[in-house]
């Protein structure tokens, strides 16, 4: 025998899949948590930018006096 003998998924197999989803309270908790993480990430990015700017100024002061 040659070639691939693995079974293949058919379109109907995918169409008939039952995909569970969390209840509304769990979904709202997930959304709230993701929003908090996005806010923290934005603040960290802003802090990082400020730290880089401060470091650049310090280096320039060292070099230029």
Average pLDDT for 48-60: 97
Report the C-alpha gap between 43 and 29 in whole angstroms. Answer: 21
Q: What is the pLDDT of residue 10?
A: 86
CB 30, CB 22: distance < 8 Å: yes
Average pLDDT for 12-29: 94
pTM of the model: 0.60
């Amino acid at each position: 025998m040659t070639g691939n003998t693995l079974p293949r998924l058919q379109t109907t197999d995918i169409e008939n899949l039952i995909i569970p989803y969390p209840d509304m309270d769990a979904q709202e908790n997930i959304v709230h948590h993701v929003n908090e993480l996005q806010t923290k990430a934005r603040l960290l990015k802003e802090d990082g930018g400020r730290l880089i700017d401060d470091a650049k100024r310090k280096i320039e002061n060292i070099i230029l006096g």
